[in-house]
């Protein structure tokens, strides 16, 4: 196993196979790549049972790795989680790429911004802790959370497991204010896992407020045909309860900027030749059976020459689905996790990681989805 930060140039090509592990392997042609994308939903304090699910997710991806050539994962916000995944899939996917963290400035709060929130939390969320405390604060104290600076919100979330008085001591600094801060110590959450050693790797930091965002790039050789230019990313979404204070006016404005930056990066790295884009793009069209997610932002991707093979299916799949245990059964199905191609043919588009897993919670087995997203896979040539 070799793990390379992008600055050193090694990327891992890997793909996620069908959700059920007992399917017989299919014949793969020399010029074909089996590719997949999966958002693991491992955002600590934002998602439920992150610590409990993480090893189960890694094991599930490892069982799929024999059927993969390229795997783009998202929401690996913690370095330990990423290193565990790399080690777990290394026998099949020995090349891994992840952009190094950019911690920025130390996140802190002023007393003026933290005080009202902590006073509200003491009253409204006195019995909650951990991720429940964060959820309660975002729900019951939304006016206060929306007014926080990014650095203050970062610090409070990182220390959310502490009692309120200790939170105050850890995060309040009279000199706080401004600066460049990011959640999870400035980690970039995408990771690219590859079966074949790439010819070239690179990455691009995207415009992003509150968290770091990036595009990973790899130029992959094929026994026959041109090399494939692979891009793996995770675009931002609207964060409930966190007021946007970045340079693009709103979460939606920032998302549009990220789309533009990806397209410019593709043009710079691959003005010609086959292109593969994988990731949770947090955008998708509105069409029969699917609700849109910032659909106007999906249009520039298609207008650039990228194609979305999943939309050509008789029944396009959802990756945010109402049958997922982390979502309401009345929620609308959406396709926001994508396999996009240019100059390639795609077949066998399907979701994976869409069956419940058994997770130990406080020593008791519970059945739940692996993540709040399902994965999407395809074969491209």
Convert the pLDDT of each residue in 19-50 to its tens digit. 444 444 455 566 899 999 999 999 998 999 99
Beta partners for 376? 37, 351
pLDDT tier for residue 165 given thresholds of 50, 70 and 90: confident
**What sign does the dihedral 313-315-316-319 (CA atoms) show?**
negative
Percent of the chain scored above 70 by pLDDT? 91
Beta partners for 277? 231, 340
Helix segments in 102-215, DSSP class H: 111-124, 130-140, 142-146, 150-158, 164-171
Catalogue the long-range contacts made by 20-26 (C-beta closer than 8 Å, 24 or more residues apart). 20/355, 21/63, 21/64, 25/66, 25/67, 26/348
Could you tell me the strand order of the sheet in which 275-280 lies?
A: 200-206, 213-220, 228-234, 275-280, 337-342
Nearest Cα to Cα of residue 370 among 12, 47, 24:
47
- pLDDT score at 240: 83
CA distance 362 to 364: 6
- pLDDT score at 209: 94
Quick check: 368 pLDDT over 70? Answer: yes
- pLDDT score at 177: 60
Q: Hey, what's the torsion of the CAs at 24, 27, 28, 30, to 10 degrees?
A: 150
CA distance 41 to 54: 9
b/e for 269-286, b at 16 or more Cβ within 10 A? bbeeebbbbbbbbbbbbe
- pLDDT score at 27: 57
* pLDDT: which is higher, 299 or 131: 299
Report pLDDT digits (tens) over 230-265.
999 999 999 988 899 999 999 999 999 999 999 999
In contact, 5 and 98? CB cutoff 8 Å: yes
CA distance 191 to 156: 26
CA distance 66 to 157: 37
CA distance 163 to 170: 11
- pLDDT score at 12: 36
* pLDDT: which is higher, 161 or 89: 89
Report pLDDT digits (tens) over 200-220.
999 999 999 999 999 999 999
Provide DSSP, 25-70: PPP--TT-EEEEEEE----TTTSTTHHHHHHHHHHHHHHHGGG-SE
Report pLDDT digits (tens) over 316-339.
999 999 999 999 999 999 999 999
Nearest Cα to Cα of residue 248 among 236, 256, 240:
256
Q: CA end-to-end span of the chain, whole Å?
A: 27
Quick check: 175 pLDDT over 90? Answer: no
b/e for 42-72, b at 16 or more Cβ within 10 A? bbbbbbbbbeebbebbbebbbebbebbbbbb
CA distance 240 to 146: 9
CA distance 330 to 38: 23
* pLDDT: which is higher, 98 or 225: 98
CA distance 243 to 264: 28
SS3 276: strand
């Amino acid at each position: 196993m070799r793990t390379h930060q992008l600055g050193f140039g090694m990327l891992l090509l890997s793909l996620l196979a069908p959700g059920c592990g007992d399917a017989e392997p299919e014949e793969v042609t020399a010029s074909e790549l089996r590719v997949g994308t999966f958002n693991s939903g491992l955002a600590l304090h934002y998602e439920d049972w992150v610590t409990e699910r993480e090893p189960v997710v890694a094991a599930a991806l490892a069982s799929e790795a024999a059927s993969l050539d390229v795997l783009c994962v998202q929401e690996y916000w913690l370095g330990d989680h990423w290193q565990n995944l790399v080690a777990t899939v290394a026998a099949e996917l020995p090349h891994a790429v992840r952009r190094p963290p950019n911690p920025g400035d130390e996140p802190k709060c002023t007393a003026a911004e933290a005080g009202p929130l902590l006073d509200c939390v003491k009253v409204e969320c006195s019995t909650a802790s951990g991720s429940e405390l964060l959820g309660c604060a975002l729900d019951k104290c939304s006016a206060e959370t929306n007014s926080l600076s990014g650095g203050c919100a970062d610090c409070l979330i990182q220390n959310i497991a502490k009692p309120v008085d200790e939170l105050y001591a850890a995060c309040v600094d009279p000199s706080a204010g401004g600066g460049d801060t990011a959640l999870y110590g400035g980690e970039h959450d995408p990771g690219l896992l590859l079966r074949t050693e790439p010819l070239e790797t690179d990455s691009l930091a995207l415009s992003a407020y509150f968290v770091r965002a990036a595009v990973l790039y790899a130029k992959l050789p094929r026994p026959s045909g041109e090399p494939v230019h692979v891009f793996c990313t995770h675009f931002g979404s609207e964060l409930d309860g966190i007021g946007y204070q970045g340079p693009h006016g709103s979460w939606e404005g920032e998302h549009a900027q990220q789309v533009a930056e990806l397209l410019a990066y593709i043009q710079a790295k691959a003005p010609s030749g086959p292109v593969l884009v994988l990731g949770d793009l947090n955008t998708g069209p509105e069409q029969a059976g699917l609700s849109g997610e910032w659909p106007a932002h999906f249009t520039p991707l298609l207008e650039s020459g990228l194609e979305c093979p999943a939309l050509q299916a008789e029944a396009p799949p959802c990756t945010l689905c109402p049958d997922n245990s982390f979502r309401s059964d009345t929620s609308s199905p959406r396709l926001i996790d994508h396999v996009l191609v240019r100059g390639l043919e795609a077949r066998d588009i399907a979701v994976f990681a869409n069956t419940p897993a058994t997770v130990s919670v406080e020593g008791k087995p519970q059945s739940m989805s692996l993540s709040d997203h399902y994965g999407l896979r395809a074969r491209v040539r």
